[in-house]
Structure 1
Amino acid sequence: MNAPTNIQILNGPDGKPAFVVIPYDDYMRDHLRDGDHTPHEVVGMMVKNDWTPVRAWREYLGLTQQQLAERLGISQSAFAQQEGSDKLRKATREKIAGALNIAPALLNV
């Protein structure tokens, strides 16, 4: 591959490569692709509105309770109870995360 790169290699005291410096935008793009972060908007919704992580993520992704309930194969009212809970069982958290297409850890408070 002959694509240009904007990296800088820093050598250690022994003259061997010790660090790689990359542009910040490249780092953020690659880091965010990992899917292990919570967007600022989601955190803001949780704080400003006193919402659970499940509700904040659902709202952030533009889904209704009905849509997410359908993805989970449960009723809207059953999902509403789950969404309002501060203490979800691990299995429930994993199912909801799967329906949201996010890592389960992102639903931990």
Structure 2
Amino acid sequence: MNVQVIMQDGRPAFAVMPFAQYEQLLKKAEMTENQADKLTFPQEVIDYKYDNNCSFIKAWRVYLKKTQKEVAASLGITQGAYSQIENAESNQKSTLEKVSKALGLEIGQLTLVD
């Protein structure tokens, strides 16, 4: 991507790029927004997440009545490693993709911003 960053007071303030790249970014953002519009969350998942101050990953796992050990086995990792994923402040996209697949969900259902 060919981007020029314009600084203001020593901090990035603007990004200038070719218009074609800008249009591509808009198209990708629109596609992502449309996908997000189609995501659903059972009220039980939302309630569990906020009542227990936990991640969406954990809330979905509990809702789907799966144990950490079961999900870990489907991922080919230990229960302890899965617990770290479930309790992490953030996870890599590749990890979220694997977990969403193991739970039968869309990645966006695990990453909704609080």
TM-score by length of 1: 0.67
| Structure 1 residue runs of 4 or more that deviate by more than 3 Å after TM superposition | none
In structure 1, list runs of 5 or more residues that go unmatched.
1-34
**Which amino acid is the alignment partner of residue 47 of structure 2?**
G
Secondary structure of the corresponding residue to residue 50 of structure 1: coil
Q: Distance in 2 between matches of 1:66 and 1:43?
A: 23
The structure with the largest alpha-carbon Rg is 1
TM-score by length of 2: 0.64
2:49 corresponding residue in structure 1: 46
Matched, 1:64 2:58: no
RMSD: 1.5
How many equivalent residue pairs? 76
Matched, 1:89 2:92: yes
* More helix as a share of residues: 2
1:73 corresponding residue in structure 2: 76
Deviations 1:37-93 (A, max 9, x none): 111100000110001010000000000000000000000000000010120110000
**Which amino acid is the alignment partner of residue 73 of structure 1?**
G
Identity %: 36
